[in-house]
Amino acid sequence: MAKVLKPDICVIGGGSGGLTVAAAAAAFGVPVVLIERGKMGGDCLNYGCVPSKSLIAAGKQAHRLTQGAGFGVADVEPQVDFAGVMRHVERTIATIAPNDSVERFTALGVRVLQETARFKDARTVVAGDHEIRARRFVVATGSSPMVPPIPGLDSVPYLTNETIFARPRLPSHLVIIGAGPVGLELAQAHRRLGAQVTVIEAATALAREEPELAAVVLERLRAEGVEILERTKVMRAERHGRTGVRLHLEDAEGTRTLDGSHLLVATGRRPNVAGLGLEEAGIAHDAKGIKVSDRLRTTNRRVYAIGDVAGGLQFTHVANYHAGLVIRALLFRLPARENPQLVPRATYTEPELAHIGLTEAQARERHRGVTVLRWPYAENDRALAERRGEGFIKLVAGRGGRILGVSIAGAGAGEMMHFWSLAMARRLRLRDVAGYVAPYPTLGEIGKRAAIAYYAGAAGKPMVRGLIRFLRLFG
């Protein structure tokens, strides 16, 4: 006979968003059940953000050793112990894992069930030998790697972000399908650690980003030896030798083959909706994920969906943002609507690429009187001192200096985006940015310099000059 639990909230999925909801609810004394069938911490901790950034950090350290000559320090050829790199990745995950563990959440007051969850009906979820009948449910099951329907791919060994971090040996030639953030981050990291790397993209690399800023990143990757094949289609895959892979490619110049020792598929993600029993619960969904309102509510009024499974932007910080909105609604009955324009994104290559708000093209489609401002790292004193002068910031502003969008390609772009995320959330204008006091010398000054440039034309206006002449008459 099933054990019946009647918590106030039932969370399905122990990734970043689900853990945030569960922890917040428990902190306010609300009975909550959390169901997770796999590893606590979800994709971000185990297969995504944490391991990838750990690998990127190792690649940066190796690359830094080869860049000393410009500072008067001899270049050093790094000796890479790839198994040691993987141990660094594993240690980082292990250090963070206790924060997301069953033990910690149990101590917080969360009832954790390590089972597969499935809706039995609109009011009930079954997990193992338990039936959960909660006041509200939150689906936070995340997403999984999407594998494209390439003929022969199912017959060759390939890696995804869920398996690439389990390899103790450096690939001799890593071939990556997909030139989005994940593909290019891992491409540069493996190249810096000594692998030959080829990236294949059917369209254009970093297609979502401002082309002129994406070009800064792509130029650096190519200069470091990453081969990036754009507008190239993979027609077929087959085994090559005992463990390798051969891809049959087609581009504007014709067809050819490409051989690699390892293949990484990084072509996007699909929402984890299979097996949840969404139909039985009356929850509408499609290939993009669960359909939700701007309040993140599904077609079943008892159920919310957050993070990747909700079919929108697929970032860990989006899941956390969603979790905050749902907590406000569930616990305090406060109005909370998602605003995708306030969500930043970052690609952690070197140089980094970060963005928030509208691109220039989007802004010109939606607004009149759009102004575009740029300021280069090459005119920033800190960047020059550190030999990091590539890249620039691009501000897109509307009438009255309203900030519509910000893109940065260059050193520390992801860290700088904190400021611009706050500026857009608080609806600051360029006059606010131009007026704050920035510490010198810092890379972030490029944003203030770009904002000041918005007002540079005022110095030459006859009316402004006339006003200054008039005021001088008073001593």
Rg (CA), the chain: 25
CB–CB of 304/137 below 8 Å? yes
pLDDT digits (tens, 9 = 90+) for 399-416: 999 999 999 999 999 999
Q: Name the average pLDDT for the chain.
A: 95
The residue count of the chain comes to 475
Residue partners of 475: CB distance under 8 A and separation at least 6: none
471 burial (CB, 10 Å; 0-12 / 13-18 / 19+) is exposed
Closest CA to 200 of 215, 180, 221, 185: 180
Q: What percent of the chain has pLDDT over 90?
A: 92
pLDDT in tens, 268-293: 999 999 999 999 999 999 999 999 99
Kindly indicate the confidence band of residue 464, based on its pLDDT and cuts at 50, 70 and 90.
low
Give pLDDT tens digits for 361-392.
Answer: 999 999 999 999 999 999 999 999 999 999 99
pLDDT digits (tens, 9 = 90+) for 249-272: 999 999 999 999 999 999 999 999
Kindly list the distances between the CA atom of residue 292 and the CA atoms of 155, 187, 306, 309, 419, in Å, as whole numbers in the listed order: 37, 35, 9, 10, 29
The answer to whether residue 202 scores a pLDDT higher than 80 is yes
Q: Give me the DSSP letters along 136-167.
A: EEEE---EEE-----TTGGGS--B-TTTGGG-
Q: Judge whether residue 475 has pLDDT over 80.
A: no
CA distance to 184, 206, 218, per residue, from 211 (Å): 15, 8, 10
Domains identified in the chain and CATH numbers: 3-144+270-341 (3.50.50.60), 153-268 (3.50.50.60), 351-460 (3.30.390.30)
* Per-residue pLDDT at 243 exceeds 90: no
Instruction: Tell whether the model's pLDDT for residue 470 goes beyond 70.
Output: no
Query: How far does CA 238 lie from the centroid of its chain?
Result: 31
Residue ranges of E strands in 332-399: 345-347, 352-357, 371-376, 392-397
Question: Which two structure tokens, joined as six digits, stand for 32?
Answer: 């909550």
Q: Please give the pLDDT value at position 461.
A: 65
The closest alpha carbon to 195, from 75, 55, 297, 45, belongs to 55
Which tens digit of pLDDT belongs to each residue from 302-333? Answer: 999 999 999 888 999 999 999 999 999 999 98
* 95-139 pLDDT tens trace: 999 999 999 999 999 999 999 999 999 999 999 999 999 999 999
Residue 472 pLDDT grade (very low, low, confident, very high; cuts 50, 70, 90): confident
pLDDT at 237: 98
Mean pLDDT of 68-78: 95
Beta strands in 22-129 (DSSP E): 32-35, 111-113, 117-121, 124-127
